[in-house]
Structure 1
Amino acid sequence: MENKEMLQHILRYIDENIREELSVSILAEEAGYSPFHFSRIFTKTAGMPAMSYVTRRRLQYARYDLSQGKKAVDAAVEYGFETHAGFTKAFKRCFGYPPSFCFLRAGITPPCEKDQEYFLSGEEKGEKKMNPHIYEFTPFSVIGYPQRQRKSNVKRTADIPAYWDSLKMDSAALLTKLHDTFTASKHFEISMCYDIDTENGEFTYLLGRGIDNPADYEKMEPDMTRVDIQGGLYAVFSTPPAEDYLVAIQDTWHEILTDWLPGSEFEFDDTRYDFEYYDHRDHGWYFGGKVQMDICIPIRLKEK
């Protein structure tokens, strides 16, 4: 069996047995080589040791399962990790964000079959297709109207625009009220999810007005909530101008999670909030009726 054919066969075998016990000896026997010869060929051809690839592939399958609602502790057991902590550490090292980040963010597509050309392509080498603006935010606040939700109603953050009616929010009226009330701050709105409980599927969704002038704080009303954004380093991803917000946001989130963060020198900083940022571009005045917004991800350099 030629090396390329062998690699394609083994990659397919790994996928078919991803939840089973796998080792260099098992893979070498399937390939028809000695463990030493198999390891040498696999590493030389694939660019990484066989078991490193197996771990990475298991994490890719686990990431998809997490995006579909599986709990991290169950995914850890299913994919052969000895502890939940070990699974979380490996997951974050591989993708640049913790397993909990999959709970509400854009859906992850199922892992596709890998042939050699795809395995050796830019995705696996960590080449970034996106070019976000790396920006140092100054601290600001968000004041708005919170609503406690369950994931059964809202599948992911990127779905929020399509679910405004089901959230029982008159978003236009609420945003008008916020802008009429907080007149000292510049024009921008924030959409964000926080207080996420992955055990029962609950989270808080906040539709709010960005507040960057302290004079506005005293105007806050009893039915409103204030969340303080610490500021710091963010990766800011602008969606392409589009008529359909939902598709543009979902596609951007998907690229962030599957391409940019895994291949970046940065990782998601889970001590701070991520949020969606809307300004005048949201009104369609600049793109012939199309709209644009920003997804803002708090980041820090990955640990070596």
Structure 2
Amino acid sequence: MLERWNDAIDLIEENLDAQIDVAALARAAVTSEYHFRRVFSVLAGMPLSEYVRRRRMSVAAADVLEGKPLIDVAVRFGYGSADAFRRAFVAVHGLTPEQARRPGAILTAQPRLRLRLTIEGSIPMRHRIIDLEPFRIAGPGARIPLVYRGPNPDMIAFHRSLPPTIADQLAAISDMDDPAGPFSVSTDFAPDRADGSEFHYVYGVATRRSAADIPASFDTLEVPAHTWVVFDVAAETGFFDALQQVWADAYGDWFPSHPYRTVAAPEILAVHERSDDGDSGRAELWLAVEREA
């Protein structure tokens, strides 16, 4: 698996001055484009597009320091103008190409990614595999920006805006015990899930009631039949950290060890228990999957 992913990373390097074909990267890794993007972002700690931009600017820095015309460097790396290239350069290095040419200028390089095997997995990941027929997810929703680190202010504001009666409203339409709600749902992400990009967030329940039985003010997501992997999260302390860690463990440890890959579907995080101080609790992370060929 690692050899195939490293082949895909080599393909990125070979095409830094050309169009990056994500479908070709996925084929090199022998997986789907959706799964490739999702796993890459977890393993690299950044979306694929961000990694490519940083690598391009790291390689382009050599041309800049050699004094090549800025427009020539911009065109080589796929930018339509010197100004567009300059903005990308500043975003990575923190200074303009002109400033970079001054003696003593400090640049910021993005090292080439290389995946290596480490012996881990000593902590069992409690999970179950379940097949579900089509169902609906219904509840209040909004489009909010994605935040990779720390609290999400827009998500917090969204929950604070919910009426006191929301629990009763959701209970009135909930008719499924698995997944048990209410829960948080994330879907409709930008392809690379860049930090700050928007996604559709819903606080809702699973139901097989007709659309006519669902309040018009609620967002409704139609979920086709899928196989799901459900990860159990339990922590006596550091519950918030445990919730964030389960994503990294799922994509960094579980998927490389099992013949499944993610498919595009709503991602469900259901918190079933939580202490008053929020430091302990139990939750489930639901991800739709398919068996790899």
Normalised TM-score (structure 1): 0.56
Partner of 2:184: 191
Secondary structure of 1:98's aligned partner: helix
Query: What amino acid is aligned across from residue 186 of structure 2 in structure 1?
Result: C
Partner of 2:24: 86
Q: Distance in 2 between matches of 1:171 and 1:206?
A: 12
Partner of 2:137: 142
1:259 Cα deviation after fit: 0.9
1:294 Cα deviation after fit: 0.7
Query: What amino acid is aligned across from residue 268 of structure 2 in structure 1?
Result: F
1:112 Cα deviation after fit: 12
Secondary structure of 2:26's aligned partner: helix
Offset from partner CA, 1:152-211 (integer Å, 9 cap, x none): xx237xx67886324464458364243354365555223111222247822111111222
Structure 2: where are the runs of 5+ without partners?
47-109
Partner of 1:296: 286
Query: What amino acid is aligned across from residue 205 of structure 1 in structure 2?
Result: Y
- Tell me which of 256, 261, 274 is aligned to 1:262: 256
1:119 Cα deviation after fit: 5.0
Superposition CA RMSD, Å: 4.5
Q: Distance in 2 between matches of 1:74 and 1:166?
A: 39
1:218 Cα deviation after fit: 3.5
Q: Distance in 1 between matches of 2:169 and 2:28?
A: 43
Determine if contact 1:129/1:259 at 8 Å carries over to the other structure: no
Normalised TM-score (structure 2): 0.58
- Tell me which of 198, 202, 207 is aligned to 2:198: 202
144 and 243 in structure 1: CA distance in 2 versus 1, 3 angstrom threshold: farther
Bigger proportion of residues as helix = 1
Determine if contact 2:140/2:202 at 8 Å carries over to the other structure: yes
Partner of 1:165: 156
Query: What amino acid is aligned across from residue 267 of structure 2 in structure 1?
Result: D
- Tell me which of 202, 215, 224 is aligned to 1:230: 224
235 and 172 in structure 1: CA distance in 2 versus 1, 3 angstrom threshold: farther
Q: Distance in 2 between matches of 1:121 and 1:77?
A: 28
**Seq. identity, %:** 13
182 and 82 in structure 1: CA distance in 2 versus 1, 3 angstrom threshold: closer
Determine if contact 1:232/1:298 at 8 Å carries over to the other structure: yes
78 and 113 in structure 1: CA distance in 2 versus 1, 3 angstrom threshold: closer
Structure 1: where are the runs of 5+ without partners?
1-47, 63-72
Q: Distance in 1 between matches of 2:275 and 2:262?
A: 30
Determine if contact 2:174/2:206 at 8 Å carries over to the other structure: no
Partner of 2:125: 130
Q: How many residue pairs are counted as aligned between the two chains? A: 224
Question: 4+ runs of 1 displaced by more than 6 Å?
Answer: 73-76, 79-82, 109-114, 159-162
Offset from partner CA, 1:53-88 (integer Å, 9 cap, x none): 4x644767x9xxxxxxxxxx9888449996332113
Q: Distance in 1 between matches of 2:112 and 2:236?
A: 28
Query: What amino acid is aligned across from residue 228 of structure 1 in structure 2?
Result: E
Partner of 2:242: 248
Secondary structure of 1:148's aligned partner: strand
Partner of 1:239: 233
